[in-house]
């Protein structure tokens, strides 16, 4: 039986031929018919078995091909299948090796494409035509890529066999004539034949690639030209549409005047519709600006250019043009344009030069374990917390820091519009948190009866008084009055929960702001402050929650949302957003900014539903707004603030010694003064003395109350519980179980204090606006200061 001559292998062709396959040690190598097709190598006993019986198949995509000697080679797929094969000659072996390597590269490529072809085959197209074109292009690219891979494989083989041929020629030059010469010539002839075979495969692959590229080149050029022409036609169409829209808009403005009965409710009949003006003027007045950051509740977009035309230079007539029948006016351009924190607005003639520095914070190391170790075996009521956790200010002084940006209330007092005034009050609400971003130190807990005055009448026109009115639950009352027409009062109690990694501080109680001229009465509550990384890591503070600022006279409302920090959020950190609405729920202003930097305000021209759906499935409200105006910007911290507890310019002056203050003032507190001076060891000892003195006074007061008979409505506490609470209330590491017993709940806070102590300067009343029991300033402090008579003040220090 004559052997059929095996063809020269070409990329993509089926290759067939006889090879000897190792079977076992008895039979040795046996002659088998091998067929290489579609990345699979199969073998049969005879050619007649190809139609019905296959003896074995191996997938070349994961196979390893190794050459053993001049005629033998091995194909293995990792251990389960291994073929030991032998060709009749070295030339025949090389033909098979070339075909197998080409088939392996192609099979590996096809397997990789099949893994990614699912998305291509199932992706919906814009139409049947475009889908077929895309599939045709993808198929062509895959074919071209396959040909390029074949070229790369053939190139590697040519380099390999070319090197072998070069070595044989070099050896032939040094051979002596004789019997050795014929052997060397035979080797050179075989290597030249191998090189010719590989070169032919390379030429065939190049020919196929060139033919395929030429066939599709003209088609792709035509498709590209068609796309270019279509894009030009689309641009011309859009340009014509824009011109027609602009022409219609100008024609409508110049030729249409709506009667008052049919006018848009946003446009008053008293305000004439602007006539058609010069094109250059229109381009200058039509401002377009970026939309604000997307939030959950609403979306803001630039208002129609006609609103910008009406909000140009005529500020005084904007209320009539916008149809504000209730007498309200828009935010004054000049008052908003000027930064309330600019040097011009804050430049005052100081009566007294305030200090601008305090001693630098000592670099004392704090070992929490050493503190806990020293507490073993001691009573809970005898465990003092060191001042290492504190900053040299009391909670009353921190409460007075809310007035740092008092200019916002000064500006609000001048407003004729309650809605405009609401914007300034909301900005003032946010500004009170700007000093907390780096302030991780805990303020000193005030002693019962401790006070703090902030008299800035000559510099800033206001004076403020704080007093610790209750110790269980701890509560502080604050009252500030300004000569510029506003009063601020609040009573704040703190509830905290320790969650292991962070400490949440929830302020309880309402803040009231009353403007004398308009008699507008605003109230709001504070958001939750969270201190992260209590046990391990660097401390950092976040503010989160929602605030509703309510005007009880007009029903206006501002809803502010403090977004909690999220590592995965794309929004700016410490973001605050809000909407100012009237009593009917109509939005008039949108507020946006951050609680540590600035707040801006945008006038709402129109609102509609139909924005993208939020996380809860509801549609967002879309507000068309004018350009944002800055309400407030944080004043930069003084130089070297990182070494002074990150105090602001106002905070640096709060503990400055001052003559004429009450003997109960926080400035006179000795442990706080020692800590400021850097004498922390003495401060710890003095702090423990003051706490023990306060416990003694409390026991005497309870004993006196029991002797005289306590009122029936008052709830008495065991003395031992009071001792425990006095100690642990100063600890930043309280457990949640302890807090349930020591911190006030909302119910406890509103039901009444559990102590018969009566504050010196405040009296407990029921607020007529909110119905909450609160402490209101009764008067007498400033008169006592003028007279220098502090005889009625207790000796708490």
pLDDT value for 310: 46
- Residue that finishes a domain, picked among 59, 81, 111: 111
Residues 464-478: pLDDT tens digits? 999 999 987 889 999
CA–CA dist 548, 556 (Å, integer): 10
Whether residue 288 is predicted with pLDDT greater than 80 in this model: the reply is no
Q: What is the mean pLDDT of residues 82-87?
A: 91
**Among all chains, which residue has been given the structure tokens 């119910």?**
747
Which of 119-133, 153-167, 553-567 reaches the highest mean pLDDT? 553-567
Residues 708-735: pLDDT tens digits? 765 444 434 444 444 344 444 454 333 3
Q: Which two tokens stand for residue 331?
A: 């935010």
Residue 617 pLDDT level (bands cut at 50, 70, 90): low
Range with lowest mean pLDDT among 304-308, 349-353, 534-538, 739-743:
739-743
- Helices 128-173 + 179-255 axis angle, to 10: 150
Q: What is the mean pLDDT of residues 474-493?
A: 95
Residues 242-273: pLDDT tens digits? 788 877 877 776 654 434 434 343 334 334 33
Backbone angles phi, psi at 33, to 5 degrees: -95, 115
> Is pLDDT larger for residue 704 or for residue 410?
410
* Within-domain flag for 525: yes
> Is pLDDT larger for residue 399 or for residue 333?
399
> Is pLDDT larger for residue 213 or for residue 88?
88
Q: Which residues of 181-304 form beta strands (DSSP E)?
A: 298-302
pLDDT value for 349: 52
* Within-domain flag for 481: yes
Residue 373 pLDDT level (bands cut at 50, 70, 90): low
pLDDT value for 249: 76
User: Using an 8 Å Cβ cutoff, are 453 and 662 in contact?
Assistant: yes
Range with lowest mean pLDDT among 94-98, 525-529, 574-578:
94-98
Q: What is the mean pLDDT of residues 649-672?
A: 94
Give the residue from 472, 388, 413 showing the smallest Cα distance to 680.
Answer: 388
* Within-domain flag for 596: yes
CA–CA dist 708, 300 (Å, integer): 64
Whether residue 538 is predicted with pLDDT greater than 70 in this model: the reply is yes
* Within-domain flag for 422: yes
Whole-Å CA distances, 661 to 365, 450, 451, 482, 782: 35, 12, 9, 19, 10
Range with lowest mean pLDDT among 148-152, 279-283, 540-544:
279-283
Q: Write the CATH number for 96.
A: 2.30.29.30
Beta bridge partners of 640: none
Whether residue 325 is predicted with pLDDT greater than 70 in this model: the reply is no
Q: Which two tokens stand for residue 508?
A: 């309880």
How many domains is the chain built from? 2
Q: Write the CATH number for 475.
A: 2.40.160.120
HSE, side-chain direction, 13 A CA sphere, residue 241: 6
* Within-domain flag for 357: no
- Residue that finishes a domain, picked among 687, 721, 744: 687
Whether residue 621 is predicted with pLDDT greater than 90 in this model: the reply is no
> Is pLDDT larger for residue 103 or for residue 186?
103
* Within-domain flag for 346: no
User: Using an 8 Å Cβ cutoff, are 593 and 566 in contact?
Assistant: no
Residue 113 pLDDT level (bands cut at 50, 70, 90): low
Q: Which domain holds residue 31?
A: 14-111
* Within-domain flag for 435: yes
Residues 729-778: pLDDT tens digits? 454 333 333 333 334 444 444 444 445 788 999 999 998 888 889 999 99
Range with lowest mean pLDDT among 315-324, 342-351, 466-475:
315-324
Give the residue from 681, 432, 680, 646 showing the smallest Cα distance to 539.
Answer: 646
H/E element holding 15? Answer: strand 15-24
pLDDT over 70, % of the chain: 72
CA–CA dist 686, 688 (Å, integer): 5
Global pTM value: 0.57
3-state helix, strand, coil in the chain (%, to 5): 40, 25, 35
Q: Which two tokens stand for residue 633?
A: 């910007």
Whether residue 302 is predicted with pLDDT greater than 50 in this model: the reply is yes
* Within-domain flag for 587: yes
Reply yes or no: is the peptide bond before residue 778 cis, omega within 30 of 0.
Answer: no
pLDDT value for 59: 85
CA–CA dist 389, 374 (Å, integer): 17
Whole-Å CA distances, 326 to 314, 329, 484, 623, 648: 19, 9, 25, 21, 41
- Residue that finishes a domain, picked among 662, 687, 712: 687
């Amino acid at each position: 039986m004559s052997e059929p001559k095996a063809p020269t292998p070409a990329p993509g062709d089926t290759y067939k031929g006889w090879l000897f396959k190792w079977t076992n040690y008895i039979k040795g190598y046996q002659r088998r018919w091998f067929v290489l097709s579609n990345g699979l190598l199969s073998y049969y006993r005879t050619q007649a078995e190809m139609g019905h019986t296959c003896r074995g198949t191996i997938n070349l995509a994961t196979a390893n091909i190794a050459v053993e000697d001049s005629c033998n080679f091995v194909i293995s797929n990792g251990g389960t299948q291994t073929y030991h094969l032998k060709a009749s000659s070295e030339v025949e072996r090389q033909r098979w090796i070339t075909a197998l390597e080409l088939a392996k590269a192609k099979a590996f490529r096809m397997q990789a494409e099949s893994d990614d072809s699912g998305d291509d085959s199932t992706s919906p197209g814009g139409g049947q035509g475009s889908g077929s074109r895309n599939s045709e292009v993808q198929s062509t690219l895959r074919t071209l890529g396959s040909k390029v891979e074949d070229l790369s494989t053939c190139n590697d083989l040519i380099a390999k066999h070319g090197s072998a041929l070069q070595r044989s020629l070099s050896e032939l030059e040094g051979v002596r004539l004789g019997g050795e010469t014929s052997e060397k010539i035979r080797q050179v002839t075989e290597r030249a034949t191998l090189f010719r075979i590989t070169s032919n495969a390379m030429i065939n692959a190049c020919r196929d690639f060139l033919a395929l590229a030429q066939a599709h080149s003209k088609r792709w050029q035509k498709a590209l030209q068609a796309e270019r022409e279509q894009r030009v036609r689309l641009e011309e169409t859009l340009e014509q549409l824009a011109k027609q829209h602009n022409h219609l808009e100008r024609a409508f403005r110049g030729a249409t005047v709506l009667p008052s009965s049919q006018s848009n409710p946003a446009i008053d009949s008293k305000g004439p519709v602007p006539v058609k003006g010069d094109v250059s003027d229109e381009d200058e007045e039509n401002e377009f600006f970026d939309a604000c950051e997307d939030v959950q509740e609403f979306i803001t977009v630039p208002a129609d250019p006609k609103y910008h035309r009406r909000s140009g230079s005529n500020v005084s007539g904007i209320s009539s043009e916008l149809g504000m029948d209730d007498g309200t006016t828009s935010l004054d351009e000049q008052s908003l344009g000027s930064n309330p924190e600019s040097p011009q607005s804050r430049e005052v003639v100081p009566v007294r030069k305030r200090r601008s520095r305090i001693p630098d914070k000592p670099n004392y190391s704090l070992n929490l374990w050493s503190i806990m170790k020293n507490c073993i075996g001691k009573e809970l009521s005898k465990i003092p917390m060191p001042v290492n956790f504190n900053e040299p200010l009391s909670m009353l002084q921190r409460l007075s820091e809310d007035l740092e940006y008092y200019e916002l209330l000064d500006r609000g007092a001048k407003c004729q519009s309650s809605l405009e005034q609401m914007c300034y009050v909301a900005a003032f609400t946010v500004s009170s948190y700007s000093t907390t971003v780096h302030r991780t130190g805990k303020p000193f807990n005030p002693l019962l009866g401790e006070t703090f005055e902030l008299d800035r009448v000559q510099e800033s026109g206001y004076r403020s008084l704080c007093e610790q009115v209750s110790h269980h639950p701890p509560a502080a009352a604050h009252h500030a009055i300004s000569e510029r027409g506003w009063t601020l009062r609040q009573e704040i109690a703190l509830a905290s929960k320790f969650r292991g990694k962070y400490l949440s501080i929830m302020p309880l109680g309402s803040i009231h702001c009353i403007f004398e001229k308009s008699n507008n009465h605003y109230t709001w509550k504070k958001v939750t402050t969270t201190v992260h990384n209590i046990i391990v890591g660097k401390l950092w503070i976040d503010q989160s929650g929602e605030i509703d600022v309510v005007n009880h006279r007009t029903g206006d409302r501002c809803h502010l949302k403090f977004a909690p920090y999220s590592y995965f959020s794309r929004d700016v950190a410490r973001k605050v957003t809000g909407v100012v609405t009237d009593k009917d729920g109509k939005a008039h202003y949108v507020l946006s900014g951050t609680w540590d930097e600035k707040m801006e305000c945008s006038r709402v021209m129109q609102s509609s539903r139909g924005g993208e759906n939020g996380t809860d499935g509801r549609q967002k409200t879309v507000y068309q707004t004018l350009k944002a105006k800055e309400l407030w910007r944080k004043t930069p911290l003084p130089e070297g603030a990182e070494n002074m507890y990150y105090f602001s310019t106002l905070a640096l002056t709060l503990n400055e010694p001052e003559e004429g203050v009450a003997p109960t003032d926080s400035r006179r507190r000795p442990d706080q003064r020692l800590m400021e001076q850097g004498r922390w060891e003495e401060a710890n000892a003095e702090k423990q003395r003051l706490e023990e003195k306060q416990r003694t006074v409390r026991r005497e007061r309870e004993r006196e109350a029991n002797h005289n008979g306590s009122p029936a409505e008052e709830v008495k506490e065991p003395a031992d519980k009071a001792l425990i609470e006095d100690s642990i209330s100063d600890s930043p590491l309280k457990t949640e179980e302890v807090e349930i017993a020591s911190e006030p709940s909302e119910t406890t806070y509103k039901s009444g204090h559990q102590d018969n102590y009566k504050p010196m300067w405040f009296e407990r009343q029921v607020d007529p606006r909110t119905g909450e029991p609160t402490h209101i300033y009764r008067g007498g402090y400033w008169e006592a200061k003028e007279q220098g008579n502090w005889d009625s003040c207790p000796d708490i220090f």
